[in-house]
Chains A and B, each alone.
Chain A
Amino acid sequence: MNLVATAAVLDDDPPLLSVRGLGKSYGGALGCRAVSFDLWPGEVLGIVGESGSGKSTLLNCLSGQVAADAGEILYRDRMGATADFLTLPEPKRRALLRGEWGLVHQNPRDGLRLRVSAGANIGERLMAQGARHYGDIRAEATGWLSRVEIDTARTDDLPIRFSGGMQQRLQIARTLVTGPRLVFMDEPTGGLDVSVQARLLDLIRGLVDELGAACVIVTHDLAVARLLAHRLMVMKGGEVVEAGLTDQVLDDPHHPYTQLLVSSVLQV
């Protein structure tokens, strides 16, 4: 039984994020449909399912990368005000994405500025929020490089020269530096060597825990989901077929599709 998730669910606090009836189709093709869930502060929600099941579409709708065509995304901000992300005016949406929200792309190259130094990549969000003391910005940047286990001697190097694993860790530092309350990650360990994956997962788990950020993580890898997520949503053909506490879903799956997913993992 996952204690953190239980505590969160039992808490009287209203959810941080309430998604209702979210849907998106690409022309005639279904991306995702009728997705509803709540996310509480500090909670990590995993979205699992086979390739093409709509996980990325859902995450992209949630994080404003793709325009949803149905539903609501109710977000309760730092001031306690709740608004539908989908109908917020663009300036407010962009301000959220720069401040209270964070997005970690599957491909770190999509989330980094490859032509400025690692330090500047981390400092950008701070500067965008008004930080104007070079020494402080740099101290934050090197502090975060250490936290994501990148040698601070690389602070002034361009990320284009980093390995894939380092780029991903840099992207995570760049996103978390301003202490976002809600973080979206799409296959954060996808495309990395297995040897690198485990360490990165530990790192993500530690940081998310430490910052108390709520997190929505997309993964096709159930081992990743078990390690990181308090709760899971299982997607198939664009719809959520099962949801619950991670251990319950993985150890006692109810939906036949989930049973198939779990058993195929066990066979590997």
Chain B
Amino acid sequence: MNAPDTGYNFAYLDEQTKRMIRRAILKAVAVPGYQVPFAGREMPLPYGWGTGGIQVTAAVIGADDTLKVIDQGADDTTNAVSIRRFFQRTAGVATTTETEKATLIQTRHRIPEARLGEHQILVYQVPIPEPLRWMEARESETRKMHALAEYGVMHVRLYEDIAHMGRIVKSYDYPVRVNGRYIMAPSPIPKFDNPKMDRMPALQLFGAGREKRIYAVPPYTRVESLDFEDHPFEIQTWSEGCALCGATDSYLDEVVTDDRGGRMMVCSDTDHCDKRRAAGHSGPMAAPYGETPR
């Protein structure tokens, strides 16, 4: 099958490569949280741009899918725009910025605020898939540690945070245990998003391009963030709501508003913020909906 306006195969990758990636994905789904090696392809984008996620997306996308791509929660960053365009061109699929309308969402740094459903697949771009790497450089050894569930060092890291800072300060890529077995790096999402991974109705797929690993969390799978009994896992909180939509339950980013040090806290998930404002919610800095460019 050829895509509309290019000489490339549908979604760029050749069918044989897609089959190989799909086999890795099936294996990953069968063993939740386990990193499956795959023979990654060179993609027409540099590694930092999410080539792992793109290959996974290319392997699962179909002509009737609707694709959403986010980067730091926004659909309009350079990275998100180029990936979206890439699939528009090579697969001719419909794209959207609306979480609810997407069947396939490729993400870097965030999980959308809207609860995902069974009809959706979330594909994460992963820079460093190995949660044990900080402590153990040898791949042969980390493989063994996973195989034997030798995970004591993961708590050593959290112990160090508490010992030096009085609390667990790790706030991104916060390690989780999947289905009570494998420890997994959730990619650099804020720990705020960790609870959303737990028993999520959507299929979650993770692609690491440089390290050539795929892993997965099947729908409704248990995902627990590591912690101590007396220092339980906690998510980020803010003292005020979103300056634009007033949301008090979404992840906020600090935005510089002028060159005189003006700042405000706004939803990092732009679609979520827009939806709330369209529905009449507003925060202290909001002009009436439809009048402020975002």
Q: Are the C-beta atoms of A119 and B164 separated by less than 8 Å?
A: no
Q: Are the C-beta atoms of B155 and A132 separated by less than 8 Å?
A: yes
B163, B227, B231 interface centre (most CB from chain A within 10 Å): B163
Q: Are the C-beta atoms of B152 and A128 separated by less than 8 Å?
A: yes
Q: Are the C-beta atoms of B152 and A94 separated by less than 8 Å?
A: no
List, in ascending order, chain B residues with CB within 8 A of A98's CB.
150, 152
List, in ascending order, chain A residues with CB within 8 A of B159's CB.
119-120, 123, 127, 134, 137-138
Alpha-carbon distance A91/B164, docked complex (angstroms): 33
B134: nearest chain-A partner, CB-CB = A115
Contact with A along B139-152 (1 / 0, CB 8 A): 00000100110111
List, in ascending order, chain A residues with CB within 8 A of B135's CB.
113
Contact with B along A113-138 (1 / 0, CB 8 A): 10011011001110111001111011
Shortest Cβ distance from residue A158 to the other chain B in the assembled complex, whole angstroms: 10
A136-169 interface (Cβ within 8 A of B): 137-138, 155-156
A129: nearest chain-B partner, CB-CB = B152
B230 at interface (Cβ–Cβ under 8 A)?
yes
Q: Are the C-beta atoms of A134 and B152 separated by less than 8 Å?
A: no
Q: Are the C-beta atoms of B230 and A119 separated by less than 8 Å?
A: no
List, in ascending order, chain B residues with CB within 8 A of A127's CB.
152, 155-156, 159
Shortest Cβ distance from residue A77 to the other chain B in the assembled complex, whole angstroms: 17
B229 at interface (Cβ–Cβ under 8 A)?
yes
Known: A113-B156, A132-B155. A94 touches B148 (CB 8 A): yes
B153 at interface (Cβ–Cβ under 8 A)?
yes
List, in ascending order, chain A residues with CB within 8 A of B231's CB.
134
Alpha-carbon distance A94/B148, docked complex (angstroms): 9
B164: nearest chain-A partner, CB-CB = A156
Tally of B interface residues using CB under 8 Å: 20
Q: Are the C-beta atoms of B163 and A138 separated by less than 8 Å?
A: yes
Alpha-carbon distance A138/B164, docked complex (angstroms): 12
Q: Are the C-beta atoms of B230 and A134 separated by less than 8 Å?
A: yes
Alpha-carbon distance A197/B193, docked complex (angstroms): 53
Alpha-carbon distance A113/B160, docked complex (angstroms): 12
List, in ascending order, chain A residues with CB within 8 A of B144's CB.
90, 94
A64-100 interface (Cβ within 8 A of B): 90-91, 94-95, 98
List, in ascending order, chain A residues with CB within 8 A of B152's CB.
98, 124-125, 127-129
A113, A127, A129, A156 interface centre (most CB from chain B within 10 Å): A127
Known: A117-B164, A133-B228. A91 touches B155 (CB 8 A): no
List, in ascending order, chain B residues with CB within 8 A of A137's CB.
159
Q: Which residue from A123, A138, A156 sits with its C-beta under 8 Å from B156? A: A123
B255 at interface (Cβ–Cβ under 8 A)?
no
B169 at interface (Cβ–Cβ under 8 A)?
no
Known: A94-B148, A132-B229, A134-B231. A117 touches B155 (CB 8 A): no
B162 at interface (Cβ–Cβ under 8 A)?
yes
List, in ascending order, chain A residues with CB within 8 A of B150's CB.
94, 98, 128
Shortest Cβ distance from residue A170 to the other chain B in the assembled complex, whole angstroms: 15
List, in ascending order, chain B residues with CB within 8 A of A90's CB.
144, 148
Q: Are the C-beta atoms of B162 and A91 separated by less than 8 Å?
A: no
Alpha-carbon distance A119/B152, docked complex (angstroms): 14
Shortest Cβ distance from residue A156 to the other chain B in the assembled complex, whole angstroms: 5
Shortest Cβ distance from residue A203 to the other chain B in the assembled complex, whole angstroms: 25
Alpha-carbon distance A133/B229, docked complex (angstroms): 5
Q: Are the C-beta atoms of B148 and A91 separated by less than 8 Å?
A: yes
Q: Are the C-beta atoms of A120 and B228 separated by less than 8 Å?
A: no
Alpha-carbon distance A124/B153, docked complex (angstroms): 7
Q: Which residue from A94, A116, A125 sits with its C-beta under 8 Å from B160? A: A116
Shortest Cβ distance from residue A149 to the other chain B in the assembled complex, whole angstroms: 21
B159: nearest chain-A partner, CB-CB = A120
B228: nearest chain-A partner, CB-CB = A134
Alpha-carbon distance A237/B130, docked complex (angstroms): 46
Shortest Cβ distance from residue A112 to the other chain B in the assembled complex, whole angstroms: 12
Binding site for B on A (CB under 8 A): 90-91, 94-95, 98, 113, 116-117, 119-120, 123-125, 127-129, 132-135, 137-138, 155-156
What would 11 more interface pairs be, CB under 8 Å, given A127-B155, A134-B229, A156-B164? A91-B148, A94-B144, A98-B150, A113-B156, A120-B160, A124-B153, A127-B152, A134-B230, A137-B159, A138-B159, A156-B163
Residue pairs across A and B with Cβ atoms less than 8 A apart, 10 shown, are: A94-B144, A113-B135, A117-B160, A128-B152, A132-B155, A132-B229, A133-B230, A134-B162, A135-B230, A138-B163
